[in-house]
Amino acid sequence: MTDHNVLFAATMAAIGFSPPELPDGHPEPEALEGANRTSRCWTSTHVGELRVGSPEHKHEVCRMFRETFNPYRPAVLAWPKLSPDMLQRVASLPIWDIAVHTEGRARLRFAAYAATLQTPQVRDAVMLNAWEEHRHKEVLSNMVNAYGIALGPEPAYRVPRDPEWMYLVTGYCECIDSFFAFGLFELARRSAFFPVELVETFEPVMQEECRHILLFANLVAWQRASLPWRRRIAFELRIAAAWFYIAWERLVLARSMKANGMGTGQDSNFTMTSARTVTPVEIGVHGLMMLCLQENDRRFAGYDARFVRPTTIPALARLALFLARPWARKRQGEPEQVTPWVTAGRRTRHGRAAAERAPDEQSPAGG
Ligand SMILES: [Fe+2]
Ligand SMILES: [Fe+2]
């Protein structure tokens, strides 16, 4: 075991967390399908209101996270054989190093925060989240090994000195990244620029990120609502500071990318650059934002509507679309190549029935 794996295992052991049992061998397609369905749909048996901040809210959110766990084993995931062209396309995506490092950091940050929690069910839910980040890292590592993609050296992962702060920063970063990843992932799927088997292998990972930010938004909302007012003010200030910190960090990153000749240094352009790496078809900012919003709604549609959803980034995307209406109107009449993709979904082996319906009810607002 490498040093950082030892560190993560020690953090798990220190709080008495046992990793979940996973079935041996290759699962049958029906079992796989069933597990994927279970992970994307969950409704509480609690009757009536689930007041945010109530013990029932906390209990049901933790139960949802436990019961939607998908027991796939990274080692049995099938990596399809790729043609030399396709292999080159996959290997040249500029995301593998940063994806592995992000998962490595997230698992340790969530585990460190879990260790500070007094409520066993919340601690177990956050620890399971940490363990799933560890599994994402394993999935990515197996994939790059299978395709012979060379990664740079891993950074030194450290246990954070202020676990709550890092939990907030990492959680809100996941809310931002997942929102755009949902759209880009769907773009890759619809464009058939990559083999469908490869895209679908990552589907459980993508849905897990949706569960993670659902858990995060609800735990933050629960904490907000259950704190006495003085501590609540301090917590709100921490949340505001976390958003400022993330905005600053991303601005610095965008500037350094510009300085290194990667993109123009603007975040929307970075997203558009990513879009160009997953599809050969031109898609505008408007089309991509629409797709991200649709995918965001689709992925959350199967979970109990009484839970809080992450709302800040979708609200900002809607605001951007609203403000950009004059330009969109000006472009009316121009051919919009992405329209058929944005308006039509596609059924896949991962059961997209819930996917293609919009949420019937408005869910409460979260982070
Ligand atoms: Fe992850
Ligand atoms: Fe995550």
What's the pLDDT tens digit per position in 3-47? 788 889 998 999 899 999 998 877 788 888 899 999 999 999 999
- CB atoms closer than 10 angstroms to residue 154: 15
Determine the 3-state secondary structure of 42 from DSSP: strand
Residue 273 has a pLDDT of 61
Q: How far is the CA of 332 from the centre of ligand 1 (A)?
A: 39
As separate numbers, helices (DSSP H) first and strands (DSSP E) second, the chain gives 15, 0
CA distance 131 to 68: 14
Q: How far is the CA of 188 from the centre of ligand 1 (A)?
A: 19
Q: How far is the CA of 160 from the centre of ligand 2 (A)?
A: 17
**Considering every ligand atom, which ligand is closest to the CA of 129?**
2
Q: How far is the CA of 4 from the centre of ligand 2 (A)?
A: 18
Give me the DSSP letters along 92-152: T-TTHHHHHHHHHHHHHHHHHHHTT--SHHHHHHHHHHHHHHHHHHHHHHHHHHHTT---P
**Considering every ligand atom, which ligand is closest to the CA of 214?**
2
How would you label 186-202 residue by residue, b for 16+ Cβ within 10 Å and e otherwise? bbbbbbebbeeebbbbb
Q: How far is the CA of 178 from the centre of ligand 2 (A)?
A: 8
Q: How far is the CA of 136 from the centre of ligand 1 (A)?
A: 5
Structure tokens at 267: 């975040």
CA distance 351 to 275: 25
Backbone φ and ψ for 281, nearest 5 degrees, come out as -95, 140
- CB atoms closer than 10 angstroms to residue 318: 13
Instruction: Please list, in sequence order, all residues whose beta carbon lies within 8 angstroms of the beta carbon of residue 12, skipping any fewer than 6 positions away.
Output: 19, 111, 127, 130, 131
Neighbours of ion ligand 2 (CB under 5 A): 209, 212
Q: How far is the CA of 19 from the centre of ligand 2 (A)?
A: 17
CA distance 296 to 178: 9
Q: Which residue type sits at 201?
A: T
**Considering every ligand atom, which ligand is closest to the CA of 136?**
1
Q: How far is the CA of 298 from the centre of ligand 2 (A)?
A: 18
Q: How far is the CA of 273 from the centre of ligand 2 (A)?
A: 23
Q: How far is the CA of 129 from the centre of ligand 2 (A)?
A: 7
Q: How far is the CA of 276 from the centre of ligand 2 (A)?
A: 24
CA distance 229 to 164: 18
Q: How far is the CA of 133 from the centre of ligand 1 (A)?
A: 4
**Considering every ligand atom, which ligand is closest to the CA of 102?**
1
Instruction: Please list, in sequence order, all residues whose beta carbon lies within 8 angstroms of the beta carbon of residue 215, skipping any fewer than 6 positions away.
Output: 61, 64, 65, 125, 126, 129
Bridge partner list, 303: 42
- How would you write the pLDDT of the chain (367 residues) with one tens digit per residue? 677 888 899 989 998 999 999 988 777 888 888 999 999 999 999 999 999 999 999 999 999 999 999 999 998 888 999 999 899 989 988 889 999 999 999 999 999 999 999 999 999 999 999 999 999 999 999 999 999 999 989 898 999 999 999 999 999 999 999 999 999 999 988 888 788 889 989 999 999 999 999 999 999 999 999 999 999 999 999 999 999 999 999 999 888 776 665 544 444 455 556 666 666 666 788 889 999 999 999 999 999 999 999 999 999 999 999 998 887 777 665 544 444 444 444 444 444 433 343 444 445 656 6
Could you say which DSSP state residue 193 is in? -
Q: Which residue type sits at 299?
A: R
Q: How far is the CA of 211 from the centre of ligand 2 (A)?
A: 8
Backbone φ and ψ for 72, nearest 5 degrees, come out as -80, 150
> Which of 71, 318, 313 shows the shortest CA–CA distance to 204?
71
Instruction: Please list, in sequence order, all residues whose beta carbon lies within 8 angstroms of the beta carbon of residue 136, skipping any fewer than 6 positions away.
Output: 103, 205, 208
Q: How far is the CA of 236 from the centre of ligand 1 (A)?
A: 26
Structure tokens at 236: 């709100």
Q: How far is the CA of 40 from the centre of ligand 2 (A)?
A: 15
**Considering every ligand atom, which ligand is closest to the CA of 103?**
1
Structure tokens at 274: 């990513």
Q: How far is the CA of 126 from the centre of ligand 1 (A)?
A: 13
Q: How far is the CA of 173 from the centre of ligand 2 (A)?
A: 10
**Considering every ligand atom, which ligand is closest to the CA of 210?**
2
Backbone φ and ψ for 16, nearest 5 degrees, come out as 70, 30
